[in-house]
């Protein structure tokens, strides 16, 4: 089975996209988070032969998202003290059976249908796949067998991707890197998103960023 795990915080003002909020305010940052999540949900509904699960942070209820989800969406709670422990728990739980599992974050506008489907195809022959973000983290990680890759304590730093990659290379895993991309954390990332989404202007994220641009300038 192919399982896509969406790691997403509830888009609550003051609790989501806090670094971006320093530039555009808590309310608007939360709306950006909501728009990105809605766009990803639209994409996941079009995926073939892929089960989609939403994994929410500890102490988060589905009602906290205050939005509609696809009827077939499955909800789970992340477990662990930090992001590494939580991802390890997710992979260990789902890889007990013969699954191919990918975790993505909701703050990346480049999770396109063909990229996600290609990632699962890669996992038919590769053991681990990774997609680097230009801030030194990563936006996608997938496995078909479990490997201990999450021992770093520096989550959120610009060394996360390299540390994880080094951990992979110490194993006997067949490893594939997807094309490098970016996620949304700062004002400059909104410019990148506008450029990337210029051919897909119907997305909620594009429309919201353009609205911010018209009102306030970017």
DSSP codes, 120-187: HHHTTT-SEEEEEETTSSEEEEEESS-------S-TTSTTHHHHHHHHHHTTT--EEEEEEE----SH
Question: Containing H/E element for 189?
Answer: helix 187-196
* Per-residue pLDDT at 151 exceeds 90: no
The whole-number average pLDDT for the span 104-115 is 96
Residues with Cβ within 8 Å of residue 95, at least 6 apart in sequence: 101, 143, 144, 145, 146
Smallest CA-to-CA distance from 163 within 184, 148, 143 is with 148
Query: Rounded distance, CA 67 to CA 39, Å?
Result: 12
CB atoms within 10 A of CB 169: 10
CB atoms within 10 A of CB 175: 15
The pLDDT assigned to 80 comes to: 94
CA 119, chain centre distance (Å) = 14
* Per-residue pLDDT at 2 exceeds 80: yes
| Helices 26-44 + 113-122 axis angle, to 10 | 60
Number of residues that make up the chain? 218
* Per-residue pLDDT at 101 exceeds 60: yes
For the chain, give the mean pLDDT: 93
The CATH code of domain 2-185 reads 3.90.550.10
Task: Kindly report, residue by residue over 40-92, the tens digit of the pLDDT.
Answer: 999 999 999 999 999 999 999 999 999 999 988 999 999 999 999 999 999 99
Query: Rounded distance, CA 54 to CA 10, Å?
Result: 11
Q: Which residue has the tokens 């700062």?
A: 186
Residue 218 pLDDT class (50, 70, 90 cuts): low
The whole-number average pLDDT for the span 156-177 is 91
Q: Could you state, in order of their start, the residue ranges of all structural domains in the chain?
A: 2-185
Task: Kindly report, residue by residue over 10-30, the tens digit of the pLDDT.
Answer: 999 999 999 999 999 999 999
CA–CA distances in Å: residue 8 to residues 30, 80, 149, 163, 183: 12, 15, 21, 23, 13
Task: Kindly report, residue by residue over 167-210, the tens digit of the pLDDT.
Answer: 999 999 999 999 999 999 999 999 999 999 998 898 999 999 99
pTM, two decimals, is: 0.95
* Per-residue pLDDT at 153 exceeds 80: no
Least confident of 45-49, 158-162, 193-197, 212-216: 212-216
């Amino acid at each position: 089975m192919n399982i896509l795990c969406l790691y997403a915080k509830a888009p609550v003002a003051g609790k989501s996209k806090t670094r971006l909020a320093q530039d555009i305010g808590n309310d608007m940052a939360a709306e950006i988070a909501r728009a990105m999540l809605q766009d990803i949900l639209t994409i996941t509904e079009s995926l073939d032969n892929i089960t989609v699960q939403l994994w929410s942070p500890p102490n988060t209820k589905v009602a906290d998202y205050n939005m509609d989800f696809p009827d077939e969406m499955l909800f789970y709670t992340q477990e662990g003290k930090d992001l590494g422990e939580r991802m390890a728990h997710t992979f260990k739980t789902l890889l007990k059976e013969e699954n191919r599992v990918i975790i993505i974050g909701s703050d990346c506008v480049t999770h396109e249908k063909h990229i996600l489907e290609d990632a699962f195809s890669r996992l038919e022959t590769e053991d681990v796949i990774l997609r680097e973000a230009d801030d030194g983290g990563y936006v996608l990680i997938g496995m078909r067998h479990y490997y201990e890759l999450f021992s770093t304590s520096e989550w959120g730093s610009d060394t996360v991707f390299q540390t994880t990659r080094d951990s992979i290379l110490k194993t006997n895993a067949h490893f594939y890197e997807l094309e490098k991309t970016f996620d949304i954390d700062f004002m400059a990332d909104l410019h990148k998103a506008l450029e990337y989404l210029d051919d897909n202007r119907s997305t909620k994220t594009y429309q919201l960023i353009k609205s911010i641009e018209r009102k306030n300038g970017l």
